[in-house]
A = this chain, B = another copy of it.
Amino acid sequence: MTTILRKHHFDLPDGVIYLDGNSLGPLPRSAAERAAHTITQEWGLELIKAWNSAGWMDLPARIGDRVAALIKAQPGSVTMGDTLSIKVYQALDAALKLRPNRKVILSDSGNFPTDLYMAQGLIDTLAKGHVLRTPPPDDVQDAINDDVAVVMLTQVDYRTGRLHDMAAITARAHAAGAVMIWDLAHSAGAVPLDIAGCAPEFAVGCTYKFLNGGPGAPAFIHIRPDIAPLVNPALAGWMGHEAPFAMDPDYRPAPSTERMRVGTPPVVQLSILDAALDVWDGVTMADIRAASIALSDLFIAKVEAGCPALRLASPRDGAQRGSQVSFHFAHGYAAIQALIDRGVIGDFRAPDIMRFGITPLYLDEDDISAAADHICDVIQTEIWRDPKYQTRARVT
């Protein structure tokens, strides 16, 4: 397999095999340094002047271009800020305005809950008779018809890692006259993408998973450049104004995707993310993908060989899978806790999913083999039956 390993860029603690980079990526060394610089040198010494002198105001666009390169979107089509939930709301609202005579938001039953909640909140707020349809993921293509205003899907299923066919679904949505929104939460930095080629109207995502931007790192939103001038933002914030410091009493949106900026940008978290993206310099997504599939296949083979009690929840075919491997196990919560106790960090998703992120930036075959051995040992010895592993933490 291609070697990608960039573990030296990260501050992973000794004795830890980190299989949860699909939830929260680990700390890149450069990010800690950059945060200290932004805080003590820029904020501390430049004070208010740093908005100009340190380029704070341009961070959303500049980092947006770095994310655009990773998802193969057009330069200038991505901006950063807020949270993924907010970006979903912005995209959905804009999509419905682009299709005023249609009433259906089509998603799928496997979508991450907050995407569905944001749709529900928008529907309630508009009170114009929109409906949210959530067929099973496999049925979603056939559910795209002329009633559908917008198709909103997360490419990689957060539980199983199942991958939607982005090109085919986008083409189908467009053939039916629907707007397409892709949520790339588990895609950006995990699988090769071609947003400019697929040409969905909107793509959104977060940066604290495979992009290692840190807890609560800002989200991103892409608007297809031809659509941007047509978007009428619900969240019409001053930073999305054509001239924020003109203090105009009337909102006039910025010409590009920048109109999706809302309030004052989170400068410290943006700076951390900016540094975290340095890890990707010189890495190709094709190499990452090849390594991810090879490591995942190895992981599946070893776990299945050593613990038949676990049933694969992810697609067996690497081409159908994001960069994670999940197993069903009735005692999955306790088993994950026992593994964390040994330094093998995965996570649990209700009702019975043991989930492991496979991230070639800082995991190699030795890590994967060792992790699989620990999993099999924990399952075979039933050490997860220890009462200390049964108590649920608030966040799982």
Check if A383 is an interface residue, CB within 8 A of chain B.
Answer: no
B44 touches A32 (CB 8 A): yes
Most buried by B among A24, A236, A241, A347: A236
Instruction: Return chain B residues, CB-CB under 8 Å to A202.
Output: none
Most buried by B among A24, A51, A52: A24
Known A82-B82, A125-B234, A263-B84: A117·B43 in contact at CB below 8 Å? no
The CA of A264 and the CA of B126, in the complex, are separated in Å by 25
Instruction: Return chain B residues, CB-CB under 8 Å to A284.
Output: none
Interface size band for A: 35 or more
Identify the stretch in A15-23, A175-183, A366-374 within 8 Å (CB) of chain B at 4 or more residues.
Answer: A15-23
B394 touches A235 (CB 8 A): no
Identify the stretch in A71-79, A189-197, A246-254 within 8 Å (CB) of chain B at 4 or more residues.
Answer: A246-254
A117 touches B36 (CB 8 A): no
Known A57-B394, A269-B269: A264·B215 in contact at CB below 8 Å? yes
B43 touches A247 (CB 8 A): no
Check if A93 is an interface residue, CB within 8 A of chain B.
Answer: yes
| Residue ranges of A at the interface with B (Cβ–Cβ < 8 Å) | 11, 13, 16, 18, 20, 23-24, 26-27, 31-32, 35-36, 39-40, 43-45, 47-52, 56-57, 82-86, 89, 93, 97, 109, 112-114, 116-118, 120-122, 124-128, 134, 206, 208, 214-219, 232-239, 241, 245-251, 262-270, 272, 340, 345, 347, 349-350, 393-396
